[in-house]
A and B are shown apart, each in its own frame.
Chain A
Amino acid sequence: MTTDTNSIAIAAITSVGAAGMPRHHLAIFAALFVFLVAAPFLLYPIFVMKVLCFALFACAFNLLLGFGGLLSFGHAAYFGMASYVSAHAAKMWGLTPELAIIAGTLVAAVLGLAIGSLAIRRHGIYFAMVTLAFAQMIYFFSLQAAFTGGEDGIQAVPRGHLFGLIDLRSSEVLYFFVLAIFFAGILLIYRIIHSPFGQVLKAIRENEPRAISLGYRVNRYKLAVFVLSAALAGVAGATKAIVFQLASLTDVYWTMSGEVVLMTLLGGMGTVFGPIVGAAVIVTMQNYLATFGDWVTIGQGIIFVVAVLSFREGIVGVLAKWIRKPL
């Protein structure tokens, strides 16, 4: 370990706040919360909700890549399948939104368990290719299965009443529901990262043979983090289906898997706040540059290339280096 990272670690240990969280993390969470509570009054609420859904998706992905060291190139499968399931549950079964989201999450978790248990048999780029191929299988399933509506997707999904009581038709009310899900999600991820389980994950990421020789059942840890990540990606996808009242093939196609990698890479993989920043940048770019058509794709490709070649820490990673504290 370099002296640089050592001093970062020491700085982190010495400034722990009341909640067991380093003070600067606590401050960032608080600032983020204040900003997001004010955001719907300053910005278009639907847009902010879209950012929140993708930010949660990227954080879930980063849990796997940044902390587990596993590059899944098929995370759209969990995001998209959860969005189909929750849309179907809300529209056809008339479930309340929170139950619909739970249904989507459970399906994503089961899917993650099935695919993850096969994928962790391979390492590195093979792992990435296997997850990608399975995700494509899910895509073809979504294209052909009866309940997904094929090319049309599931449209006009009712937003419903939260707990059967609170009407979510108004975007302002819905926003606070989404905000609560988002915060619960990232705090859970934060908790996982900083738990003993998270420390073992980091050990596996840094040196797998050593973790094995220390007696850890590495594959169980990998599978556990894979399922957690898939389930949280499912939460994001299911919430997105309720917000946009739509589940469609774009959410399950492999380009979506690429986008979440891009968000994480750009924001800073292995950082707590990076994926949120990355998602905000990419979603903003897509929203405001949509009229430029395929130039947006080209722009994303260029960002990808630049990020890989000369910006591997990502935006938040660079900031963390400057202030010499982990973010």
Chain B
Amino acid sequence: MFELLGIPPQVLFGQLLLGLINGSFYAVLSLGLAVIFGLLNIINFTHGAQYMLGAFGAWMLLNYLGVGYWWAVFIVPPIVGVTGIVLERVLIRRLYHLDHLYGLLLTFGLALIIVGFFRQFFGVSGLPYPPPPLLTGGYNLGFMYLPNSRAWVIAASLIVCLATWFIIEKTRLGAYLRAATENPTMVGAFGINVPLLVTLTYGFGVALAGFAGVLAAPIYAVNPNMGADLIIVVFAVVVIGGMGSILGSIITGFGLGLIEGLTRVFYPEGSAVVIFVIMALVLLVKPAGLFGRGV
């Protein structure tokens, strides 16, 4: 049996795998934030609450309607996305002509309301979500044991991230989106319905948060506060990556998850703050972020 720096390989790879899972959540959530920020110029503080809505959506489908995980993966994200569209239509769009800071404050208030309601009705102790049978087993890869549930989370987030990247960077719809972020008036003059595009983009970004929530349900306890701390780490990820680039948020998300996992192996006390330390270093050297443009 070989050892790396005195750490048994099972421990090392186990933590790296956990890091990769956290990284999947960072990537999907920061991607959603980046998509929303790109077109709406709003830091969606409600993102953590919308992630929580995804997890609760899956939990409610199972417990109230008996609908299982695999259906939830497809049903819940669009539903959460539609709640986002309603918010955008009713509230957020009133702020586009104002300083961006008001968008942050409004979505912060919305997060308080949503999380408050769920705390009031479901309490703060976590609700269990049993993983579906397909996700309970695992494979022995020789050097480590790979549980199916983890492999699935990583694969699913990678697929969703790459699909989003493909849509935005390589399709005609994506071209409209990118053009609208540069010059909405011009794009509108070409007959594209920019307000509709904005609404759908917000809905899509929120659906990404909901998707991450469904993925999280069998792994972490379903809990009203589950998004609260995560979202701030994701903000740090966004600052490190720089929000200019879609690919940047995906790479930074997975990469920082891995770094966090490594820190947990070699210096466990530092694992909660390592991302913030990296953020401080990146700000010192490259204030625009690793993949960002401008300051």
Contact = CB atoms under 8 A, between A and B. Distances in A.
B283 A258 contact: no
Given A129-B238, A140-B273, A298 B117 contact: yes
Contacts of B156: none
In the complex, which of the residues B91, B105, B115 has the most CB atoms of chain A within 10 Å of its own CB atom?
B105
B293 interface: no
B273 A122 contact: no
Interface stretch (A91-99, A100-108, A289-297): A289-297
A308 B239 contact: no
B279 A298 contact: no
B134 interface: no
B116 A295 contact: yes
A305 B283 contact: no
B86 interface: no
A304 B115 CA distance: 14
B interface: dominant SS: helix
Contacts of B280: 118, 134
A125 B110 contact: no
B94 interface: yes
What secondary structure prevails in chain A residues at the interface with B?
helix
Q: How large is the interface on B (under 10, 10 to 19, 20 to 34, 35 or more residues)?
A: 35 or more
A302 B116 CA distance: 11
B287 interface: yes
Interface in B96-150: 99-106, 108-117, 119-120
Contact of A128 (B104, B229, B233, B287): B104
A33 B272 CA distance: 45
Residue with the highest number of chain B CB atoms closer than 10 Å, among A122, A126, A298, A307: A126
Given A129-B236, A137-B273, 14 more contacts: A71-B101, A119-B283, A124-B101, A128-B104, A130-B283, A132-B235, A136-B229, A136-B233, A143-B272, A293-B120, A294-B120, A301-B112, A301-B114, A308-B102
10 contacts: A71-B101, A71-B104, A121-B287, A122-B295, A125-B43, A133-B236, A136-B229, A137-B273, A144-B272, A308-B102
